[in-house]
Amino acid sequence: MMKNIFKSLVMILMGVFVMTSCDPQDNDDNALGQLPLASQLDFTFTPSAEKPNVVALKNESSLNGVATWDFGNGGKGKGDNVTASFPFKGDYTISMTLYTTGGSTTITKVISITNDDMSLLDTPMYNALTGGAANLNGKTWVFDQYVAGHFGIGPADGSTPSWWSCPADGKLQSSMYTQEFTFIQVGVKMIWKNNGYVYTNSAGKDALGGTAIVPGAGDFDVEYTPKTSYTYTLDEVNKTITISDGGFFGHYTGTSTYQILKLTDDEMYLKVVSTVEPGNGWWYRFVPKEKNVKPIVPMKAVALAENFEAEKLKIDFKRESMGKLDSIYSNPAPLALNSSKRVYLYEKSTELYSNVSYTVSGYKFDLSTLNKVRIKVFIPSYNDYSVDKLKKQVAVKLQNNDNGGNAWQTQTEVVKGDLPTDKWIELEFDFSTVKDRTDYDKIVIQFGGEGHNVPGIFFFDDFSFSE
């Protein structure tokens, strides 16, 4: 009995010792990290002797940490020593936030700028954006609607609009191309004109409120009247542009600050991270209004042909959602109709849509002269046609490549179905019914049908596009 009591006393004493040794009050506060106090933070600002409107900011805090800055003019910085420029006179509230292991604290100071210094705006970026101080009417930018890729979406941390990119004129039936943005250097003014609507998606519509309509381009046009004028901040160090008073570039994403990817006299390419759809990034390309001219693409009657015998092909078909087998293959049946050594192996994958295509460069097809596609095809019997999904057919389509992923919407398609198996046959696809079309520049070949995931192997040879 006494032995058990003694053991119990020992356990109690050990518990007290453990709790005492773990008392957080006895720990080193610096090791755990304390929230920095405002009294521990300080910074200085020193105007440049040559240009008083250029100010050097220095972190003078009594503890270590990472300093970030808000200059009060739309510009930001990071580090113990940064420089801020203030082209215009006025009082600016500078904020410094110090991040430590214990958290972050912000202090502010007000700096007074006595005079304007317009020379600070005489920089390549300001001049490209506005046309320079001498251009009192400013420079007007619009969406680069006639060039594919002027509008797109991708991941917020991505470098390209990898999820979707708008084809040329892809948002014609919306308010997007009515947006005009005039940047004036003197007074740092921006004038935004539209037709009373802005363009956005469902999340943006809900965040904006207001009356919305569904345009022919999809998504939403929402009623929105811009202010008479805005100001803007061009941060040349961090390469950002911020529009005042909640202004934005005609497509609503919930933010007014844009990353400048490129800014020249002829192009402004921007990226913005959406706040109404976190994780989404949007890309925009603008051009000066006077240079937003629809290009004139010539029509040509250029015959095309490929027999796949040479090492360097004249027509290198682009593969979309195809299988992994090599495209150039030995002739599976070198018989009378087709005794060539090499043919094209078409492997439909388990994707819903497989095809090969060829797009010409610099011109459109003159279908009034050339409007026949001819190929030899071999349909193997060993494919699984039993479920009536994979079909013994070939489709040839003419498309407008400018429309990107929407090219199928204006295509013309000719289908040859119920084809015989295990022998070479020659097919002609006649597009004379659309000989007046002037927008086609892409030929698509598709075996086995679409909209299903049944794989299959097919062969074709002696492709030609001619009279």
93 and 129 part of one domain: no
Average pLDDT over residues 255-271: 97
| DSSP E strand boundaries for 307-423 | 318-320, 328-330, 342-348, 355-359, 364-365, 372-378, 394-399, 412-416
Task: Mark out the alpha helices in 209-267 (DSSP H runs).
Answer: none
- Domain end position, chosen among 99, 117, 135: 117
**With contact defined as beta carbons under 8 Å apart, do 462 and 376 qualify?**
yes
Specify if 23 maps to a domain. no
368 and 392 part of one domain: yes
Grade residue 11 by pLDDT with cuts at 50, 70 and 90: very low
113 and 205 part of one domain: no
Specify if 11 maps to a domain. no
Residue 146: its pLDDT value, please? 93
For the chain, helix, strand, coil in percent to 5 are 15, 40, 45
* 116-152: pLDDT as tens digits: 888 888 899 999 999 998 899 999 999 999 998 999 9
Grade residue 420 by pLDDT with cuts at 50, 70 and 90: very high
Nearest to 315 by CA among 271, 361, 358: 358
The structure tokens listed for 268 are 């402004």
How far apart are alpha carbons 188 and 203 in whole angstroms?
31
- Report which DSSP code applies to 338: B
Specify if 398 maps to a domain. yes
Residue 186: its pLDDT value, please? 86
Higher pLDDT, 352 or 9: 352
- Domain end position, chosen among 66, 85, 117: 117
113 and 128 part of one domain: no
Q: Rounded mean pLDDT of the chain?
A: 90
**With contact defined as beta carbons under 8 Å apart, do 86 and 75 qualify?**
no
Residue whose pair of structure tokens reads 């398609």 in the numeric block: 413
Specify if 18 maps to a domain. no
The residues near 227 (Cβ < 8 Å, ≥ 6 apart) are 192, 245, 247
Cα angle 15-21-27, degrees, rounded to a multiple of 5: 150
394 and 381 part of one domain: yes
Grade residue 251 by pLDDT with cuts at 50, 70 and 90: very high
How far apart are alpha carbons 424 and 414 in whole angstroms?
19
- Domain end position, chosen among 243, 259, 291: 291
Q: Is it the case that residue 9 has pLDDT exceeding 80? A: no
How far apart are alpha carbons 107 and 43 in whole angstroms?
9
| DSSP E strand boundaries for 63-210 | 66-70, 76-78, 81-85, 90-100, 103-113, 139-143, 151-155, 164-165, 180-184, 189-193, 197-200
Specify if 384 maps to a domain. yes
Specify if 28 maps to a domain. no
HSE value, Cβ hemisphere, 13 Å, CA-based, for 12: 6
How far apart are alpha carbons 453 and 177 in whole angstroms?
39
Q: Is the pTM of this model over 0.85?
A: no
Q: What CATH number should be reported for the domain holding residue 113?
A: 2.60.40.10
Specify if 429 maps to a domain. yes
Structural domain span for residue 68: 38-117
* 150-160: pLDDT as tens digits: 999 999 999 99
Average pLDDT over residues 345-371: 95
316 and 377 part of one domain: yes
How far apart are alpha carbons 288 and 142 in whole angstroms?
6
228 and 313 part of one domain: no
Q: Domain total for the chain?
A: 3
170 and 52 part of one domain: no
HSE value, Cβ hemisphere, 13 Å, CA-based, for 389: 14
Percentage of residues of the chain with pLDDT beyond 90: 79
Q: Is it the case that residue 240 has pLDDT exceeding 90? A: yes
349 and 265 part of one domain: no
Q: Is it the case that residue 299 has pLDDT exceeding 50? A: yes
Task: Mark out the alpha helices in 193-285 (DSSP H runs).
Answer: 202-208
Nearest to 258 by CA among 246, 245, 267, 249: 249
182 and 126 part of one domain: yes
Cα angle 381-382-383, degrees, rounded to a multiple of 5: 95
Percentage of residues of the chain with pLDDT beyond 70: 93
**With contact defined as beta carbons under 8 Å apart, do 410 and 403 qualify?**
yes
146 and 102 part of one domain: no
Q: What CATH number should be reported for the domain holding residue 460?
A: 2.60.120.260
Nearest to 106 by CA among 69, 80, 71: 69
Specify if 422 maps to a domain. yes
How far apart are alpha carbons 155 and 177 in whole angstroms?
24
356 and 407 part of one domain: yes
